[in-house]
Amino acid sequence: MFRVSLRLPLLAFFLVAGAISAHAEDQLLRYPWQGVERTAILHIPPGAAGHPAPLVVVMYGSDDKAANFQKYSGFDAVADKENFVTLYPEAIDGAWNIIARKPVINGEPVDDVGFFRTMLNDLVEKKIADPKRIYATGFSFGALMSYTLACSLPDRIAAIATVSSAMNEAQMENCKPGHPMAVMVVNGNSDDVQPYDGAIRTYGRLTSVPETTEYWRRIDGCTGQTANFLPHLNPHDLTRANRTEWTGCQAGTGVERFRIETGGHCAPRLATATSDHQQDGPRFGGCSNDFETPVEVWNFFQRYHHG
């Protein structure tokens, strides 16, 4: 349950820096929004400090927390090496509003899009974020929120990368006619939580991963494609990673898909010399060891920018 301790006027917002983790450069951002306080963790590597830098918004799945996802997602290690900023927003009641009636604040649907726009505008104005290089990525329900941001904030978001969820049908309808956008998706074809072939959910129909990639291929005007399996790094790993890249797309856009054969509801992680294939339980399935998700996400993002 998301709880707040401060109620301030709508649209007034400010930034407060505080030590919230082992990283001295991390800050806790606080934004009064819809009568409650919304927060996010901002991580600025030394190489990204003092000037506008690329910004990656990282969103967790249902019932997680920003600080927890920051620790295990692996994005800060890549950010420290590649000199980009990471932002970990906190959801209301552990859920994002993906163009729906829930979650609710004070009897009204949560305005997550407005909250994100406020944060991004603030970070651009403070010259922390480069307005041409703002990206969004998320896992599971955070992936769904990434699609919502791609459709609602195309003036701010230059590219998205989604892990373990396709797009909701209501999102597609709301997004029409659509804005060209660079999109990368990572999905296991044995995912029982957000099925690769789609499902009916309480929030509407989850489209299949092929439907989702076809939607963005059409919007981006891509005319060709290439596909190949990634090198198999761990003989104990029962999954295989297949990468498809659509080509001939509009300038500044592209579509890329990682299909994890027999993969479950999991972000792939790189194999180590001693790692064995791990099962996260029958509901979440196996996790590919053939690539490191944050590394591939950043490799995709850095190819795209506004303007």
* 165-193 per-position pLDDT tens digit: 999 999 999 998 889 999 999 999 999 99
42-91 tens-digit pLDDT: 999 999 999 999 999 999 999 899 999 999 999 999 999 999 999 999 99
Cβ burial of 300 (10 Å; 0-12, 13-18, 19+) is buried
For residue 145 the two structure tokens come to 């929120």
Please check whether the domain covering 14-301 is classified as CATH 3.40.630.10: no
pLDDT score recorded for residue 102: 83
Please give the C-alpha separations between residue 281 and each of 29, 213, 241, 266, in angstroms, as whole numbers.
35, 28, 20, 11
277-289 tens-digit pLDDT: 344 444 467 899 9
- CA atoms of 292 and 268, how far apart (whole Å): 6
- SS3 at position 169: helix
Q: How confident is residue 7, by pLDDT bands cut at 50, 70 and 90?
A: very low
Least confident of 20-29, 99-108, 200-209: 20-29
Buried b (16+ CB within 10 A) or exposed e, 80-102: bebebbbbbbbbbebbbbbbbee
pLDDT score recorded for residue 236: 87
- CA atoms of 117 and 22, how far apart (whole Å): 28
Task: Answer whether residue 154 shows pLDDT above 90.
Answer: yes
pLDDT score recorded for residue 148: 96
- CA atoms of 307 and 289, how far apart (whole Å): 36
- Helix axis angle, 141-152 to 112-125, nearest 10°: 70
Q: Torsion angle of alpha carbons 112, 207, 140, 245, nearest 10°?
A: -110
Question: What mean pLDDT comes out for the span 208-217?
Answer: 98
Angle at 151 between CA 82 and CA 120, to 5 degrees: 50
For residue 182 the two structure tokens come to 């660079």
**Residues 6 or more apart in contact with residue 110 via CB below 8 angstroms:** 34, 92, 97, 102, 103, 104
| Residue type for position 101 | R
232-246 tens-digit pLDDT: 998 889 999 999 999
- CA atoms of 9 and 29, how far apart (whole Å): 17
- CA atoms of 61 and 144, how far apart (whole Å): 9
pLDDT score recorded for residue 272: 59
CA 201 remoteness from chain centre? 20
Residue with structure tokens 């190819």? 303
111-127 tens-digit pLDDT: 999 999 999 999 999 99
Cβ burial of 14 (10 Å; 0-12, 13-18, 19+) is exposed
For residue 299 the two structure tokens come to 């490799």
- CA atoms of 226 and 29, how far apart (whole Å): 42
pLDDT score recorded for residue 176: 86
Residue with structure tokens 């709301």? 174
For residue 283 the two structure tokens come to 């509901």
Strands 129-139 vs 159-163: parallel, antiparallel or unpaired: parallel
> What is this structure's pTM?
0.89
**Which helix (H) or strand (E) segment is 36 a member of?**
strand 36-43
Q: How confident is residue 13, by pLDDT bands cut at 50, 70 and 90?
A: very low
pLDDT score recorded for residue 307: 82
